[in-house]
Amino acid sequence: MNLSSEQLHQLIKNKIKQAGLSDEHADIVADVLVFADARGVHSHGAVRVEYYSERISKGGINANPQFTYEETGPCSALYDGDNGAGHVIAKNAMDKAIKMANSKGVAVIGVKRMSHSGALGYFTKHAAEQGLIAISMCQSDPMVVPFGGSEVYYGTNPIAFSAPGPDGKTINFDMATTIQAWGKVLDARSRNQSIPDTWAVDSDGHPTSDPHAVRALLPIAGPKGYGLMMMVDILSGVMLGLPFGKNVSSMYDDLTEGRNLGQLHIVINPEFFTTKEYFIESISQTMKELGEIRPAPGFDKVLYPGQNSDLIEAKSRKDGIEIVDEVYDYLISEHTYINSYDHKSAFNG
């Protein structure tokens, strides 16, 4: 099914409101999910709505959270989300970080007690569009075998980075510390597609191309991805006094309980380190020089990070966003949720 951004946004918002969120919070959740779908990151788009709706309905996402914000130093703060919608909490905390970085040059804000917040690139790009550099990282479900191990310990623990460029353009880098994000496996399941056998392993530890047989994901670049996911866990979990490693709550274990996840936003104002003109000119030159590099066989052009997603988004905003029929049917149905996720294994959910 092909939908305009506005149509998809309204369908998602309606379903999230039906589950119990306020109009304002549902609007933010829908905005983050449409951003992902429009950029081709369907793993973090509308495919997630039923899960969110079930968790909201059962109380595991607080529909009426009481947010608190405490500055803990000249350039640091803690934002407590009271287990509300993660998308709303992450955006609010990023807005605080943007304000702090604008006045103080640097902002480091730890976000506590939140739920899943979707595509991290949404929040870092939001800062870059205001002339700032942003890094964000967060914990996720234990579903990755550490390098050399045969049992899961860390989550996909993603990292996003964005920087401002010329004429409103931004550089954007958003990655899981696994070879592929879990949401990509979910997307493959919804589309009845196979996956590369380098993404994950089955219950016996063997590589699998069947998304339904996945029982653990693999870290990107072996020990390097393993080290990065440990870094994310320390900065967004241990440092914030939250559960860490295999103790991070499962996305599906009990949808009546808050997940108490952690996230870290780091925002830097480049004008505190160089001139705005030099920074933007240098990013512009970087983009231009990368585009002029002779492409390797099989490639048409070297793209800077995020450029391909920008092209996909521009096309999606013009021609519509393709949503699989199963997801569309749910969005237009009368059901708030179909009880698909509660007390399921992360890999069976």
Residues annotated as catalytic (active site), given as ranges: 116
| Helices assigned H by DSSP within the chain | 5-19, 23-38, 49-58, 86-104, 121-128, 182-190, 223-236, 276-292, 307-319, 325-332
CA distance 47 to 341: 13
> Distances in Å between the alpha carbon of 312 and those of 15, 35, 76, 166, 284?
26, 11, 36, 19, 21
C-alpha triplet 87, 88, 89: angle, nearest 5°:
95
Q: In Å, how far from its chain's centre is CA 157?
A: 10
**How many other CB atoms are found less than 10 A from the CB of residue 309?**
21
Closest CA to 143 of 134, 130, 153: 153
Instruction: Supply 48's token pair.
Output: 């997630």
CA distance 66 to 197: 44
The dihedral through the CA atoms of 36, 41, 44, 45 has a sign that is positive
Closest CA to 192 of 42, 59, 13, 324: 324
CA distance 97 to 109: 6
> Distances in Å between the alpha carbon of 347 and those of 183, 196, 254?
11, 17, 15
Is there a contact between 83 and 64 (Cβ–Cβ < 8 Å)?
no
Residue type, 174: D
Closest CA to 5 of 41, 47, 33, 44: 33
DSSP string covering 118-136: --THHHHHHHHTTT-EEEE
